[in-house]
Amino acid sequence: MRNLWTHTATHLRFFVRNRLLLGFGLLVLAIGALNLVPLFMVDSTGARFEALKYLSNEFRYMAWFYGAGLGLLAVWSHLRARSTTVVFTHPAAVAVWVLSIFTLALGVVMLVHVVVEAVTFGLCVAWSVPYQVGFIWLSFESILETLMVVSMLTALATIVHPVLAILGLAFFNDGVLYQLESMVKSAVDAGSRSVWLAVAGWLVSAGRAVVPMLSPFGRETANVGQTLRVSGDDWEYLAAIASYTALVSVCSLLAATIWLQRKALK
């Protein structure tokens, strides 16, 4: 546990001193500030509620985008600088180092979402807009999805270049593969008997079976994002999403640890 906190503190100092990350954070804050301007131009309760819902979604997306790159940046920077050779003195150190990246990302993402919810709640109180529990539910969902992406990008960054890791996650995720599978199925239903199309359909289906879903139960919980009303079933789905995130994160971080251990032994 002591080594975990030591590595986590080291990563925190690295992030604080990183100008690229700092500049990106300031850019995110500037964009968020600009998004606040339209809120002061509406005067009805309904319009303000819709504006707050839009703003909250935008802030959650920014937090997702910002938090997702933390693990990627940490792994890529240290591997490029070959500073990990000092850390990986024994096999257990690799697992602790990888876990520390995930721990720091978790802390940063949760802190950002706390700030987002505090701003949302403050504006609701200031403008007499009813605060909906759906804001909190969506924040939890966003945190879980971000952690899933953090773990996956961390694993990919240990194997390929960060650019390839981002492209791989962007073009080979469950959503894209689902669209490709639908296109292939439509072509087959239309009467196509191409062997290559059949092979492509099999590969896409196999990929969907392996690639983790970034938004599990998205259809079942879509109503929360639209109405911000949360039922008992929605909380059960959130618990299921948390379990799925834990499974994907453990598998991804384990893969990253095994790959880094192989590199350390070479």
- 92-106, 156-170, 179-193, 229-243: range with highest mean pLDDT: 229-243
CA–CA gap between residue 79 and residue 53 (Å, rounded): 40
The pLDDT value given to residue 245? 93
Listed by start position, the domains of the chain span: 2-173+211-265
- Please tell me the pTM assigned to this model: 0.80
Better pLDDT: 36 or 240: 240
Better pLDDT: 152 or 90: 152
Better pLDDT: 229 or 6: 229
The pLDDT value given to residue 137? 93
CA–CA gap between residue 179 and residue 85 (Å, rounded): 42
Query: Count of CB atoms within 10 A of residue 66's CB?
Result: 18
Burial-class residue 63 by CB neighbours within 10 Å (0-12, 13-18, 19+): buried
Listed range (81-85, 162-166, 229-233, 251-255) with the worst mean pLDDT: 81-85
Give the list of residues 6+ apart from residue 230 with CB closer than 8 angstroms, or none: 133, 134, 137, 224
Record the tokens describing residue 216, joined without a space: 């599990």
**Torsion region of 191: left, alpha or beta (phi above 0 gives left; psi -120 to 50 gives alpha):** left
